[in-house]
């Protein structure tokens, strides 16, 4: 990976023509030949870019990038401020962050964010068709089953409805209320939840994570 | 099997054994109580495989035998009978419960499906039953209810310098209780959920305790309680206990509990109570944006390296720790706002409660 910070202007020609007037910019050249030009703004999107495979010719005053589609990018270099190259090696790839499992863990630790006075009875409470994410007790000590999803869809509501049906067969728990909790809930799932007498609640995952970050523990429970 | 006994005596042994009957068992037979009649004794066993309670009663025996009867219905049916003698009998197809008029007929469960449990050999260490019950009540408050971390749902039993030590932690607080003179051998992680049942099921002036390879066994003249040990390594708690504290305040325990009762009127679990330790006692404050606030001063004896120290706690956790103490006084020892504090009765006695503050 080569990173160059330079005062430059840029001309592109291909599907259209475009010109970037002279300014200080970051030029990123990846090992695979992809080139991108960034400014300090524009979020993550480059001002201009050429996806590999490319041919890059470097001259004292300009770099010329061309590809087989007939596109070309000419970067007129006025002054190089930084020029660094690093070998990044193989990338392990994007790992799924386990939001749903983490959301369940966060809600298990503080079920009152779903309903005032709600306390946890057990996580992964078993039923004969599988475990419900959280079994809680409300302020009147009535059983409340909570199903946690990252995104609340109809099938999640149906799943909770089936758990409630099984839990209601246990005379020591019945009647069991249901709460369907998700980061976001689809409108159809909201309608179905209401029809099934299930409360649907959207939870602020990022907010819960912030709370977790400020909590102090005696020891790290992740190990 | 056919027996007769006084309603209250029968209801007692059935209800106590039924406390082990699982509400979430996948095996239908475990919703039943195994009733075994031999000689002049009725022996009742309830189990969810993790917790097993066995009780017994001398009864009038017409026929020996054994049956598994749905626990909830059996204990409730006997309890709801009129006072006096109650008869429980097994026919070819049913269980009949009758006495002074009413008569229940219940469907039995398959007796051969009930797990085989070896008899308890009572060769454990004798413990004062009241001390053990107190210790259980004190330490189990700090055990976690989160089944996803089983180790934290247990109470560590281990040998201390002068007896038995019991420790529990949910990572936010830790409770440690010593029982001097109790020479229980070995160590094990005993489920707090089952331990809480001990006073209610077999509580007695003298209790025998034993740690076996896979279970903890408690027996008394009221029956036996067997708890399957939790596998895993308990956190190394000794390193969590600070050696010294630069600041401490001693307060009247009842006054602090009353103050915390007022605090919890405003604060839910997630709203911290702030304590400012100063000359002459403690300033207690809680505020909640959508409700309001409460503040008060509690007189006490503060001594410390700092003129004042501010610290905040989860009010319920603080209340739990102070409630678990038995003396008139409570001592709160503080290092700073971010390190664990120790709450005890000020005598360096047998009970200690370590509580992590809340960042505010």
Q: For all residues of chain A together, what is the average pLDDT?
A: 87
Per mean pLDDT, which of A37-41, A51-55, B58-62 is the most reliable? B58-62
Residue ranges of chain B that CATH labels 3.10.150.10: 2-113, 125-237, 241-355
Facing B270 at nearest CB: one of A112, A172, A221:
A112
Sign of CA dihedral B198, B199, B203, B207: positive
Q: Which of A4-18, A191-205, B242-256 has the lowest mean pLDDT?
A: A4-18
Per mean pLDDT, which of A53-62, B238-247, B314-323 is the most reliable? B314-323
Residue B250 has pLDDT above 90, yes or no: yes
Q: What share of chain A is helix, strand, coil (3-state, %, to 5)?
A: 20, 40, 35
Is residue A146 exposed (0-12), middle (13-18) or buried (19+ Cβ within 10 Å)?
A: buried
Half-sphere exposure of B38 (CA within 13 A, CB side): 7
pLDDT at B179: 95
Task: Answer whether A173 touches B (CB < 8 Å).
Answer: yes
Half-sphere exposure of B308 (CA within 13 A, CB side): 10
Residue B149: which H helix or E strand, with range?
Answer: none
Using the beta-carbon criterion (under 8 Å), do B148 and A124 form an inter-chain contact?
yes
Using the beta-carbon criterion (under 8 Å), do B148 and A120 form an inter-chain contact?
no
- Split at pLDDT 50, 70, 90, the class of B145 is confident
CA pair distance A19, A99, nearest whole angstrom: 42
pLDDT at A223: 47
Give CA A37 to chain center in angstroms: 25
Residue ranges of chain A that CATH labels 2.70.180.20: 2-85
**B72-92: b or e for each residue (b if 16 or more CB lie within 10 Å)?**
bbbbebbeebeeeebbbbbee
pLDDT at A90: 75
**A206-222: b or e for each residue (b if 16 or more CB lie within 10 Å)?**
eebeeeeeeeeebeebe
CA pair distance A125, A133, nearest whole angstrom: 7
Half-sphere exposure of B347 (CA within 13 A, CB side): 9
Q: Encode pLDDT of A88-106 as tens digits.
A: 887 765 444 578 888 998 8
Instruction: CATH number for B125-237: choose from 3.30.70.20, 3.40.630.10, 3.30.110.30, 3.10.150.10.
Output: 3.10.150.10
Tell me which DSSP letter residue A52 carries.
S
Using the beta-carbon criterion (under 8 Å), do A112 and B269 form an inter-chain contact?
yes
pLDDT at A118: 87
Using the beta-carbon criterion (under 8 Å), do A172 and B23 form an inter-chain contact?
yes
B24 contacts in chain A (CB < 8 Å): 125-127, 170
User: How many angstroms away from the CA of B63 is the closest CA of chain A?
Assistant: 32
> CA angle at residue A95 from A97 to A160, to 5 degrees?
40
Q: CA torsion angle for A44, A45, A47, A48 (degrees, to 10)?
A: 120
pLDDT at A222: 58
Q: What is the mean pLDDT of residues A117-137?
A: 87
Q: Encode pLDDT of B273-290 as tens digits.
A: 999 999 999 999 998 877
Using the beta-carbon criterion (under 8 Å), do B148 and A105 form an inter-chain contact?
yes
Facing B72 at nearest CB: one of A122, A171, A216:
A171
Task: Answer whether B288 touches A (CB < 8 Å).
Answer: no
Give A128's contacts (C-beta < 8 A, 6+ positions apart): A166, B26
Peptide bond before residue A175 is cis, with ω within 30 degrees of 0: yes
User: How many angstroms away from the CA of A128 is the closest CA of chain B?
Assistant: 7
3-state SS, residue B33: strand
User: How many angstroms away from the CA of B77 is the closest CA of chain A?
Assistant: 15
Contact pairs from chain A to chain B, CB under 8 Å: 63
- Taking every pair of Cα atoms in chain B, the longest distance, rounded to a whole number of angstroms, is 80
CA pair distance A7, A75, nearest whole angstrom: 10
Fold of A98-217: Trna Endonuclease; Chain: A, domain 1 (3.40.1350)
Task: Tell me which of B171, B272, B334 to substitute to probe the interface with A (most A C-beta atoms closer than 10 Å).
Answer: B171
Percent of chain B exceeding pLDDT 90 equals: 74
* Of A97 and A48, more confident: A48
Q: Encode pLDDT of B162-206 as tens digits.
A: 899 999 999 999 999 999 999 888 899 999 999 999 999 999 999
Q: Which of residues 23-82 of A touch B (CB under 8 A)?
A: none
**Entry field: residues in chain A:** 223
Answering whether pTM is above 0.80, one says no
pLDDT at A197: 94
Instruction: CATH number for B241-355: choose from 3.40.309.10, 3.30.200.20, 3.10.150.10, 3.30.70.100.
Output: 3.10.150.10
Structural contact between residues B32 and B114, judged by C-beta atoms closer than 8 angstroms:
yes
Task: Answer whether A110 touches B (CB < 8 Å).
Answer: yes
A167 contacts in chain B (CB < 8 Å): none
Domain over A2-85 is classified CATH 2.70.180.20: yes
Using the beta-carbon criterion (under 8 Å), do A170 and B23 form an inter-chain contact?
yes
Task: Answer whether B354 touches A (CB < 8 Å).
Answer: yes
pLDDT at B302: 96
Is residue B63 exposed (0-12), middle (13-18) or buried (19+ Cβ within 10 Å)?
A: exposed
Instruction: CATH number for B2-113: choose from 3.40.50.300, 3.30.420.40, 3.10.150.10, 3.40.50.620.
Output: 3.10.150.10
Task: Answer whether B156 touches A (CB < 8 Å).
Answer: no
Q: Encode pLDDT of B27-64 as tens digits.
A: 788 999 999 999 999 999 999 888 999 999 999 999 99
> CA angle at residue A60 from A58 to A61, to 5 degrees?
95
Using the beta-carbon criterion (under 8 Å), do B356 and A173 form an inter-chain contact?
no
Closest to B160 (Cα-Cα) out of B13, B331, B350: B350
Helices (H) and strands (E) in chain B, counts: 7, 25
> CA angle at residue B8 from B7 to B13, to 5 degrees?
100
Using the beta-carbon criterion (under 8 Å), do A116 and B268 form an inter-chain contact?
yes
Tell me which DSSP letter residue B290 carries.
T
B26 contacts in chain A (CB < 8 Å): 126, 128
User: How many angstroms away from the CA of A140 is the closest CA of chain B?
Assistant: 16
User: How many angstroms away from the CA of A74 is the closest CA of chain B?
Assistant: 54
Number of Cβ within 10 Å of residue B324's Cβ equals 21
Q: For all residues of chain B together, what is the average pLDDT?
A: 92
Residue A135 has pLDDT above 80, yes or no: yes
Q: Encode pLDDT of A139-194 as tens digits.
A: 888 999 999 999 999 999 999 999 999 999 888 888 999 999 999 999 999 999 99
Facing A218 at nearest CB: one of B147, B269, B354:
B354
Structural contact between residues B254 and B328, judged by C-beta atoms closer than 8 angstroms:
yes
Structural contact between residues A12 and A73, judged by C-beta atoms closer than 8 angstroms:
yes
pLDDT at B80: 95
Q: What is the mean pLDDT of residues A113-135?
A: 87
Tell me how far apart the terminal alpha carbons of chain B are, to the nearest angstrom: 65
Percent of chain B exceeding pLDDT 70 equals: 98
A62-66 and A55-58: which strand pairing? antiparallel
Sign of CA dihedral B160, B163, B168, B174: negative
Using the beta-carbon criterion (under 8 Å), do B171 and A110 form an inter-chain contact?
no
CA pair distance B199, B193, nearest whole angstrom: 12
**B98-112: b or e for each residue (b if 16 or more CB lie within 10 Å)?**
bbeeeebebebbebe
Which alpha helices (H) appear in chain A, and where do they start and end?
99-109, 154-167, 187-195, 205-214
**B280-316: b or e for each residue (b if 16 or more CB lie within 10 Å)?**
ebbbbbbeeeeeeebeeebebebebeeeebbbbbbbb
Which alpha helices (H) appear in A4-119, and where do they start and end?
99-109
């Amino acid at each position: 990976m080569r990173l160059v910070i330079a005062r430059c202007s840029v001309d592109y020609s291909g599907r259209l023509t475009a010109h970037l007037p002279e300014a200080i910019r970051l030029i990123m050249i990846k090992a695979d030949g992809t080139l991108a030009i960034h400014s300090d703004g524009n979020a993550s999107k480059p001002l201009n870019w050429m996806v590999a495979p490319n041919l890059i010719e470097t001259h004292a005053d300009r770099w010329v990038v061309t590809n087989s589609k007939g596109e070309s990018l000419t970067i007129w270099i006025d002054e190089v401020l930084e020029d660094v190259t690093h070998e990044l090696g193989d990338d392990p790839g994007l790992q799924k962050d386990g939001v749903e499992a983490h959301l369940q863990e966060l809600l298990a630790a503080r079920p009152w964010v779903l309903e005032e006075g709600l306390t946890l009875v057990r996580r992964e409470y078993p039923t004969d068709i599988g475990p419900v994410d959280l079994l809680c007790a409300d302020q009147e000590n009535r059983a409340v089953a909570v199903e946690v999803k990252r995104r609340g869809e109809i099938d999640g509501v149906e799943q909770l409805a089936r758990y409630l049906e099984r839990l209601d067969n246990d005379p020591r728990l019945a009647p069991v209320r249901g709460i369907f909790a998700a980061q976001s809930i689809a409108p159809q799932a909201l309608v179905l939840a209401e029809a099934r007498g299930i409360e649907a609640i959207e939870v602020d995952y990022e907010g819960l994570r912030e709370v977790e970050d400020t909590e102090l523990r005696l020891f790290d429970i992740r190990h | 099997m056919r027996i007769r006994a006084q309603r209250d005596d029968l209801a007692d042994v059935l209800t106590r054994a039924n406390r082990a009957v699982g509400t979430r068992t996948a095996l239908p037979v475990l919703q039943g109580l195994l009733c075994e009649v031999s000689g002049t004794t009725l022996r009742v066993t309830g189990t969810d495989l993790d917790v097993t309670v066995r009780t017994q009663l001398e009864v009038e025996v017409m026929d020996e035998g054994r049956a598994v009867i749905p626990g909830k219905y059996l204990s409730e049916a006997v309890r709801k009978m009129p006072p006096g003698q109650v008869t429980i009998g097994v026919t070819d197809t049913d269980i009949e419960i009758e006495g002074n008029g009413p008569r229940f007929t219940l469907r039995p469960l398959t007796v051969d499906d009930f797990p085989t449990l070896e008899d308890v050999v009572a060769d454990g260490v004798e413990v004062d039953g009241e001390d053990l019950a107190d210790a259980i009540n004190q330490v189990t408050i700090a055990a976690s209810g989160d089944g996803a971390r089983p180790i934290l749902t247990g109470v560590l039993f281990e040998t201390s310098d002068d007896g038995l030590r019991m420790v529990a932690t949910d990572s936010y607080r830790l409770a440690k209780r010593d029982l001097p003179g109790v020479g229980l051998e070995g160590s094990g992680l005993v489920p707090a959920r089952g331990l809480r049942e001990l006073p209610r099921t077999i509580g007695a002036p003298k209790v025998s305790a034993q740690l076996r390879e896979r279970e903890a066994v408690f027996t008394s003249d009221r029956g036996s309680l067997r708890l399957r040990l939790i596998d895993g390594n308990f956190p190394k708690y000794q390193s969590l206990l600070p050696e010294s504290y630069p600041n401490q305040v001693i307060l009247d325990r009842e006054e602090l509990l009353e103050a915390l009762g007022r605090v919890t009127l405003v604060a839910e679990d997630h709203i911290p109570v702030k304590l400012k330790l100063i000359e002459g006692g403690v300033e207690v404050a809680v505020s909640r944006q959508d409700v309001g606030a409460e503040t008060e001063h509690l007189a006490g004896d503060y001594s410390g390296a700092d003129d004042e120290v501010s610290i905040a706690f989860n009010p319920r956790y603080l209340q739990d720790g102070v409630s678990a103490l038995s003396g008139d006084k409570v001592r709160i020892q503080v290092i700073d706002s971010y390190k664990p504090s120790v709450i005890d009765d000020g005598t360096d006695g047998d009970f200690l409660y370590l509580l992590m503050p809340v960042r505010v």
